[in-house]
Structure 1
Amino acid sequence: MPSFKPVVALMRGLDVLQAVNASREATVGSVHAATGLDKATVVRMLETLEHAGYIVRVAGRPAYVPSWRTLQLSQGYDLQRSLGAAAEPILTNFRKSIGWPSDLAICDRGAMIVVQTSREQGPLSLNRRPGYQAPVLSTSLGRAYLAFCPDEERQAILAQIAARPNAESVDLGEADAILAEVRERGFAVMDGTYSDREYEGLVWAIAVPVMNGERACASVNILMLRNAMSYEMAVDRLLEPLKATAARLAEVFRAQG
């Protein structure tokens, strides 16, 4: 356990930097919506990050983008890049075989971090890149991971989420019921409310865990258009190929040590 309370201002600044990094062009309004911070705080954080050189203002517009300096923050973290590179051909071939894109994600500090994606190929790109942080409780990626990770880790993740201001709401009873259903059927489904918010209800997803022995080490999904692929069709046609792809990805994780 830490021996001190977190520095709230620093945490807010990191939240703002994350919101800018996740957008092509971030505005005060979009950062406010993403973080829940009041707009005056958002402005102070944006100007501080600009002064520090981590973001730059777009010429002629009240918008911000990450600067080259943000790349320095990841120089000491190679696992994500190495996993992504090894997984890329697997996801590329999987998309060619089924026609729908996929994400591979690992769990880090209560969020699902996309380490590789095949969304950038073809018409259903959906603007997700490696490094994108997906919420745990409402995405198929997060639910698939949570359902098959160790109990102690699951409770720690839920506690992390619950402790964050303006984060996903956590109803432990509801979460336990959802995850029990995922374990029973062997796969997870994107929450409908999340689909409505992020994709106007047009896109949905299923995901399975990438297993290392008896526990999940990651998860992989398939994203589909709701009007083109029903639940029944996806389970019948895509679930087994998805599980086979997860098994191939598990070999990648074992090779990474």
Structure 2
Amino acid sequence: MTTERSDTIRSLARGLHVLSAINRLGAASLNQLHQETHISRQAILRILATLEEEGYVRRWLNDGLYRISSISPGVSRNFAQLTLMADIIAPSQVELMAQLDWPTDVAVLDGDRMAVCETTRRQSPFPFPLVRAGHRVHILQSAVGRVYLAFMEEPEREALLTRLRLSLDPYDTQSRKREAVARLVEKVRSDGFGVREPGYVAPGSGHGASMQALALPIFQGARVAACLSATWFARALSVEEFVERHLHDIKAAVAKAEMLIASSGIELQA
């Protein structure tokens, strides 16, 4: 009994040691955890598998690093919305990846830009440029930005456009063309989705000019919590072909994401 109890306590201690290291580092690879804890890699993998299963940590899709889960039991809910959305919606992205092969991104509004929460580009069989969590794209050119703008509540939309009109960024000058913006919003709302401005290349996004993207809003109640986008090579499929082949699956992933948000019980930032 003494030996069994000692082994159990030792296993618990090692698990807490790994959890503490992840919390301290913010994001950690297997090698980093091995260096920090001096526990064997094989044992760390078993610990991580248990922590993931119990909801305390998650291995992020965009960089493969382990982070404390924002929806883990007993962990503070005081997390940025970017992290919350990454944790909640990632399961929907993983399932969608198996259906599309094309990668998907989840993004939220971050000031006057959209910020990527999580992406499956690393898992895609296609050679897409990789982006990390926090990568920011413009509102009026990106698919996620356009769909967020179109489906956000009117007072918030006007406040955002007012800020964009004061911006010195060349990509924001379109915000001053009020009729064009109104037509864009109307079209996105009519279609139910937004598409990227052809040729748009966000800073740090690699060969973005050769890519196209389509995004849908993810709602929490009446407000947009995030946007889910799928990206593909423009030469492979037209927007119309992509819609015909894949829109149904993306809508299903959005519906599941909305259910996950609702069941999480988390109040997202306004």
Is 1:103 matched with 2:109?
Answer: no
- 1:157 pairs with 2:160: yes
Correspondence for 2:178: 172
1:183, distance to aligned residue in structure 2 (A): 0.5
Moved more, 81-90 or 138-147: 81-90
d(CA) in 2 for partners of 1:235 and 1:195? 22
Q: Displacement, 1:251?
A: 2.3
After the TM superposition, which residues 143-222 of structure 1 pair with which residues of structure 2 at under 5 Å, given as runs? 143-167=146-170, 168-169=172-173, 170=175, 171-194=177-200, 199=207, 201-222=209-230
Match of 1:135 among 109, 134, 138: 138
Helix, strand or coil at the partner of 2:162: helix
The aligned amino acid for 2:111 is R
Moved more, 151-160 or 162-171: 162-171
Query: How far, CA to CA, are the matches of 1:190 and 1:234 in structure 2?
Result: 13
Is the CA contact (8 Å cut-off) linking 1:83 and 1:252 kept in structure 2? no
Q: Which residue of 2 aligns with 1:86?
A: 88
Contact preservation (8 Å) 1:106, 1:112 = yes
Distance apart, 1:130 and its partner CA:
1.1
| RMSD, aligned CA | 2.0
The aligned counterpart of 1:228 is 236
Q: Give me the whole-angstrom Cα distance separating, in 2, the residues matched to 1:164 and 1:200.
A: 23
**Does 2:252 align with 1:252?**
no
Counterparts of 2:97 and 2:233 in 1: how far apart (Å)? 14
1:214 and 1:153 map into 2 onto residues whose CA distance is 13
- Give how far 1:141 is off: 0.3
Contact between 2:214 and 2:230, CA under 8 Å: does it hold in 1?
yes
Residues 210/143 of structure 1: CA separation in 2 closer, same or farther (3 Å cut): same
Q: What SS does structure 1 have at the residue aligned with 2:129?
A: coil
Once the two structures are TM-superposed, the CA of residue 77 in structure 1 deviates from its matched residue by 4.1
Paired residue type of 1:128: V
TM-score, with structure 1 as normaliser: 0.65
* Cα displacement (A) at 1:78: 3.6
Determine the structure 2 residue equivalent to 1:26.
none
Partner of 2:48: none
Distance in 1 (alpha carbons) for counterparts of 2:142 and 2:190 = 18
Compute the displacement of 1:110 (Å).
1.6
Q: In the alignment, which residue of structure 2 is the partner of 1:52?
A: none
Over 3 Å counting, the alpha-carbon distance change for 1:111 and 1:252 in structure 2 is farther
Cα deviation digits, residues 153-173 of structure 1 (max 9, x gap): 111111122222225212222
Q: Give the CA deviation at 1:114.
A: 0.9
The CA deviation at 1:89 is: 2.3
Write the letter of the residue equivalent to 2:90: E
Counterpart CA distance in 2 for 1:88 and 1:217 is 14
**Alpha carbons of 1:196 and 1:216: their partners in 2 closer, same or farther (altered >3 Å)?**
closer
Alignment-mate amino acid for residue 118 of structure 2: Q
Encode CA deviations 1:9-35: one digit per residue, 9 max, x unaligned. xxxxxxxxxxxxxxxxxxxxxxxxxxx
Partner deviation per Cα, 1:46-99 (whole Å, 9 max, x = no partner): xxxxxxxxxxxxxxxxxxxxxxxxxxxxxx744322321222222122111111
**Which structure would you say has the larger Rg?**
2
How many residues are paired up? Answer: 182
* Cα distance in 2 between the residues matched to 1:78 and 1:110: 16
Kindly provide the amino acid, as one letter, of the partner of residue 249 in structure 2: P
Q: Hey, what's the Cα distance between the residues in 2 that align with 1:133 and 1:249?
A: 22
Corresponding residue SS for 1:216: strand
Give % identity: 25
SS in 2 for 1:194: coil
- Structure 2 gaps, min length 5: 1-77
For residues 4-23 of structure 1, what are the structure 2 equivalents within 5 Å? none
